Each structure stands twice: as structure tokens, then as C-alpha cells.
Amino acid sequence: MSALIRTFALVACAAVLAVPAFAGGDDYDAMNDTEGKGPAYFGFVRDTRGSPVSDAQVILRPKKGEPVTLKSNVLGLYRSHLDKAIPPEEVEISCGKTGYRQSGVLRRPGADKDMHIETNCTLQRL
């Protein structure tokens, strides 16, 4: 019986090791995210306790032009681009989900603020 358990354990470990793992649980490669697009807008949607909120709607709304609507992933992460002609300071970011209301938005300043704009949303459960 112990040989069967060991065999099962080895097979299970091999299956786990065959799946690539990414830091933070996501395959986003920000260093290679340059395909001639504008700045990378990214961040997390969390609840007031700090837990990730998946499938939250995130809207990147420039003063001029069409808004971009996306969803947060299982980690609460979202990311997208807008046209590089749109200045980041002219983009408002909001988030929401049924059963929640937006309670805060925090744009974090960065050293390369013109290329990577991190904005985190906080949602409060109703």
C-alpha cells in the first residue's frame, strides 16, 4: 500500500511541476509590454478588508475619446492600454460590481509614471 501512495505522490508532484507558476499568480510580463501602445494602466480591485474582488468592472474613461471597460481577474488584477496620445492625467478610473459600491480609488505615483499607471480600487460590500 505504501508503494501505491508513493507512486501517487510522485505523479501528483510531477503534475504540479509541469504547470508554469508565475509570481503573483499571473502571466503578465510588464517588462515586455511595449507593442507601440500607450501607457499600461493596471491595478487591483479589493474589498474593504483587502481581499481581491474578481470579475469587477473597471472603466478607464479619458476626457476625450471612448472609455475602455474591462474585468478584474481572480486576483483582482486588471490591466489595459489607452492610446498614447491620451495624457494619463486625463484618464479617470472607476470600478464596480453588483453587490458593492466604490469606496475609494488610489493612483500610486511611480518613477515611470508615463508608462505604467497603477490605480487601485476599493469596493465596499452593500
* Contact partners, residue 41, CB within 8 Å, separation at least 6: 60, 79, 80, 81, 82, 88, 91, 93, 117, 119
Q: Is the pTM of this model over 0.85?
A: no
| Helical residues (DSSP H) of the chain, grouped into ranges | 2-18
pLDDT at 11 over 70: no
pLDDT digits (tens, 9 = 90+) for 39-67: 889 999 999 999 999 999 999 999 998 99
Overall fold of domain 36-125: Immunoglobulin-like (2.60.40)
Q: Where are the domains of the chain?
A: 36-125
For the stretch 66-82, pLDDT in tens is: 999 999 999 999 999 88
Q: How far apart are CA 114 and CA 110, in angstroms?
A: 9
